[in-house]
Structure 1
Amino acid sequence: MTAGVGGRSYADRVVELTGGEALTLRMTALALREHPTGRPVDVAGVVEWFGAMQAQDAASGLWSLGLRLPGRTEADVRAALERREALRTWPMRGTVHLVPCRDARWMLELTGVRALAGAPARRAVLGLTEAEVDRAADVLGAALAGGGRLTRAQCLAALTAAGVDVTGQRGYHLLWYASQRGVTCITPHVGTEQTFALLDEWAPDPHRPERDEALGILARRYFRSHGPTTRRDFTGWTGLTAADAKRAVAVATDAGQLARVQVDGVESYLDPTLLDAPRLPVDDVHVLPGFDEYLLGFKDRALMVDPAHMSAVVPGGNGVFQSTVVRGGRVIGTWKRRLARTRVTVTVQPLVTLDPSTRQRVEAAWEGYARFLALPLHFSW
């Protein structure tokens, strides 16, 4: 039986939700509001809650974690990553995500293979052969063996010393390929430099679920942290085939881990416990990093962003998302930061008309970000 935490059964009926109700519940699922089952309390919990979190930009990934762990500083989050509460790799769509350490390998095997299937076309453009990329992975494996940890520059130097050409975009592709194959993973920065280690040494106790179980885990975590949303959004997020995405949703639904709802007549899914969360609009303000699951976790972003504002959020449609100011679940502005040793300067660009009261609330929202960075914050419009 599928039931909410209050004991109400949702197995025998499909709940109808308006778009506004769905947005309220979605903000709760995204761990931006209190959840009926409680919010994650540490970095490991946040990453496991989502299953995977966009983290191609390291600073953005740190704040994505920090804003969901009120009171934690950037130093706290960095220390948690050093304790291996999560790691970064390329599990889906060839894009860097934070994932639970024990789940990195099965996720690469389940979803990463789709990116590897497209690698030959990229190798042809770069003038690389399959033998060359496999040799590069072997070179990195040997260089990192025994608990080694190398910066990006040191990895490229090791490849060069072994006679591997890393000029142009070849170096990035070779580093990506080694991680995509599960040889290496991205470890926390040393200073401003990305570092790498062997996946088997950084995560020596991998979870090894059967394929159906793995599909079900992925579906449960996605809809728990993003729902209510559609199977199309799930397919886009994972990069799975439509058939695998359908199977994943079926496995999780049959296990009572997902409930089916209608959002303005569109079939969607969520964690059934979320149906016991309040659905009334919440007038809160958040300052979110650009590469946050709030937007990156969906193909259809209409609930969160006015289509007329998408060009400001993703200028040129190039996939580089601006950081956003969000009120009541809707994007109302974008922001940029300039970081110095002694302070951070933030500039906000409103996308809608803001009255003086709203401007004061937006300015107040930066207090949490300043505490997170442990720096004075200078603000401008």
Structure 2
Amino acid sequence: MTTPRRVTWTEANARRIARQHLAVPAPAKESSPAAVTGAMLGAHAQVLSAAELSVALRLEAATRATVRDALRTDGTLVKTYGPRGTVHLLPSADLPLWTGALSAIPAGADPMPPDVRMTEEQTEAVLTAIGEALADRDLTVDELTDAIVERTGPWAGDRVMDAFQDKWPRWRQVTHRAAHRGVLCFGPNRGRRITYTNPHRVLPGFTPIDGAAAHTELVRRYLRAYGPAAPRHFARWLAAPRGWAGEVFAAAATSGEIEEVVYEGGAAWVVTGDTDFPAEPPEGVRLLPYFDAFAIASQPRELLFPGRAFERALGGGQAGNHPVLLVDGTVAGVWHQRRSGRRIAVTVEPIAGGTLSPRRRRALEAQVERVGEVLEGRAELTVGKVAVGPHA
């Protein structure tokens, strides 16, 4: 019996940083926003400007316009509900994988009060109505509500869902489920209002991959990007049941798709044969925006956010709520940017020791300049206290 390879945090972290294009941005002639986003397994787009920054920082000479063109002009990116039921940018070509995988994850307990919930029959009626209503046009939320009610009945439009000091129509509790089923994604904004469209208009004729096959492929991609990892890490990243994740990993191991290693003293997995790791530890200074994929998915989290960083840079233990300063592969501070015209004021608050060496300061200045280029403005650095709290 072969003894599993031992992998250290430093080795794993260096490989993740390299594969995330954080060590060296992907060459513009060889890559694209869609390819970079695919390597990240999606860019969290609850704050769309943060997603644009996440992607563009990983691609040589890219700006936010480069990412916007991929989303709105050539359609190689799509904005939809991805992992954890949250808004993401995903490669359009990966829609068969994502819809197949996400629609087949077991659902947890329904969080809605009994008088708000929808039956499975009502849910299926709404999903069908959404697909039909968006088949050939983009609709605002209000327009889509009218179209759904017209097809299903007034119950779907009852304003019974508590949301942001308001009441939303009943059907909106299945918005992310509609995206996972492949009948809804975001369309172009109409002024300041969002619209929804049918993803088949982005990638005509696509068919979701079979659930079991999609789960195996998603495990492979996840482990290539963020491995070594255990089923509990995969479950946390997807907001999926741990027991189910364990079954998926067990099936992938049985079929020979993944192999076990020893990682930080415990069992973890990598793609079979994917056991090469950098010999040198990660180096460099990077600024990661809100909800960056690397900060969210890398585990163990307490090693990525060591010491005081765990308290300062995490929102209640949740990664992504603060933009972070990454120094030599670990979180060493938080930062914030405020825009006024073309001027972008960037404030960086180091955590460890409160100061940066001259070499690190120069590297930080270069990174701030790059952030300004991506955001198509003129960035100015201040090293000091960040007064802005975590993002909700």
For Structure 1 versus Structure 2, the TM-score category normalised by the shorter chain is: 0.7 to 0.9
- Give 1:75-154 correspondences, 5 Å limit: 75-82=65-72, 83-114=74-105, 116-118=107-109, 120-122=110-112, 124=114, 127-130=116-119, 137=127, 140-146=130-136, 148-152=137-141, 154=143
Give the SS at the match of 1:374: coil
Structure 2 residue identity aligned to 1:149 = D
Question: How far apart, in 2, do the equivalents of 1:116 and 1:16 lie?
Answer: 35
**Structure 1 residues 287, 367: CA separation in 2 closer, same or farther (over 3 Å shift)?**
same
CA positional deviation for 1:293: 1.4
- Give 1:221-240 correspondences, 5 Å limit: 221-240=221-240
**Structure 1 residues 177, 272: CA separation in 2 closer, same or farther (over 3 Å shift)?**
closer
- Give 1:51-62 correspondences, 5 Å limit: 51-62=41-52
Structure 1 gap ranges (5+): 1-10
Answering whether residue 72 of structure 2 is matched by residue 70 of structure 1, we say no
Is 2:13–2:282's contact at 8 Å kept on the other side of the alignment? no
**Structure 1 residues 106, 96: CA separation in 2 closer, same or farther (over 3 Å shift)?**
same
Give the SS at the match of 2:111: helix
Superposed CA deviations along residues 59-90 of structure 1, whole A, max 9, x for unmatched, are 22111111111211110111011222122322
Answering whether residue 301 of structure 2 is matched by residue 301 of structure 1, we say yes
Structure 2 residue identity aligned to 1:41 = S
**Structure 1 residues 243, 276: CA separation in 2 closer, same or farther (over 3 Å shift)?**
same
Question: How far apart, in 2, do the equivalents of 1:115 and 1:225 lie?
Answer: 24
Instruction: Indicate the larger mover: 355-364 or 63-72.
Output: 355-364
Is 2:45–2:87's contact at 8 Å kept on the other side of the alignment? yes
- Structure having the larger proportion of residues in helix: 1
CA positional deviation for 1:280: 1.0
**Structure 1 residues 375, 217: CA separation in 2 closer, same or farther (over 3 Å shift)?**
same
Instruction: Indicate the larger mover: 287-296 or 49-58.
Output: 49-58
Is 2:129–2:148's contact at 8 Å kept on the other side of the alignment? yes
> Higher relative CO (CA 8 A, sep ≥ 6), structure 1 or 2?
1
Question: How far apart, in 2, do the equivalents of 1:34 and 1:13 lie?
Answer: 33
1:340 is aligned to: 340
Matched residues, number: 367
- Give 1:209-224 correspondences, 5 Å limit: 209-224=209-224
Question: How far apart, in 1, do the equivalents of 2:302 and 2:142 lie?
Answer: 41
Superposed CA deviations along residues 251-299 of structure 1, whole A, max 9, x for unmatched, are 6556765453322332233356764453212321110012011121145
Question: How far apart, in 1, do the equivalents of 2:46 and 2:379 lie?
Answer: 25
Is 1:220–1:271's contact at 8 Å kept on the other side of the alignment? yes
Structure 2 residue identity aligned to 1:51 = L
Structure 2 gap ranges (5+): 384-392
CA positional deviation for 1:235: 2.3
1:326 is aligned to: 326
Instruction: Indicate the larger mover: 349-358 or 328-337.
Output: 349-358
Question: How far apart, in 1, do the equivalents of 2:142 and 2:350 lie?
Answer: 39
CA positional deviation for 1:109: 4.2
Question: How far apart, in 2, do the equivalents of 1:34 and 1:111 lie?
Answer: 31
Give the SS at the match of 1:346: strand
CA positional deviation for 1:174: 5.2
Is 2:260–2:267's contact at 8 Å kept on the other side of the alignment? yes
**Structure 1 residues 39, 335: CA separation in 2 closer, same or farther (over 3 Å shift)?**
farther
CA positional deviation for 1:219: 0.9
Q: Structure 1 residue aligned with 2:372, among 363, 370, 373?
A: 370
Structure 2 residue identity aligned to 1:49 = A
Is 1:156–1:166's contact at 8 Å kept on the other side of the alignment? no
Superposed CA deviations along residues 201-256 of structure 1, whole A, max 9, x for unmatched, are 22223254334321221011101111233332122223444454345445655676
Answering whether residue 16 of structure 2 is matched by residue 26 of structure 1, we say yes
Instruction: Indicate the larger mover: 238-247 or 151-160.
Output: 151-160
Is 1:40–1:49's contact at 8 Å kept on the other side of the alignment? no
Is 1:108–1:180's contact at 8 Å kept on the other side of the alignment? yes
**Structure 1 residues 338, 188: CA separation in 2 closer, same or farther (over 3 Å shift)?**
farther
Question: How far apart, in 2, do the equivalents of 1:365 and 1:35 lie?
Answer: 12
Aligned-residue Cα RMSD (Å) equals 3.4
**Structure 1 residues 39, 114: CA separation in 2 closer, same or farther (over 3 Å shift)?**
farther
Structure 1 residue identity aligned to 2:280 = L
Instruction: Indicate the larger mover: 222-231 or 200-209.
Output: 200-209
Instruction: Indicate the larger mover: 317-326 or 358-367.
Output: 317-326
CA positional deviation for 1:123: 5.3
Is 1:159–1:166's contact at 8 Å kept on the other side of the alignment? no
Compute the TM-score of the two structures, normalised by the length of structure 2: 0.79
Question: How far apart, in 1, do the equivalents of 2:380 and 2:86 lie?
Answer: 32
Question: How far apart, in 1, do the equivalents of 2:57 and 2:256 lie?
Answer: 30
Instruction: Indicate the larger mover: 21-30 or 326-335.
Output: 21-30
Question: How far apart, in 2, do the equivalents of 1:267 and 1:35 lie?
Answer: 31
Compute the TM-score of the two structures, normalised by the length of structure 1: 0.81
Question: How far apart, in 2, do the equivalents of 1:49 and 1:28 lie?
Answer: 11
Question: How far apart, in 1, do the equivalents of 2:251 and 2:128 lie?
Answer: 37
**Structure 1 residues 316, 261: CA separation in 2 closer, same or farther (over 3 Å shift)?**
closer
- Give 1:345-356 correspondences, 5 Å limit: 345-353=345-353, 354-356=355-357
Give the SS at the match of 1:303: helix
1:44 is aligned to: 34
CA positional deviation for 1:197: 0.5
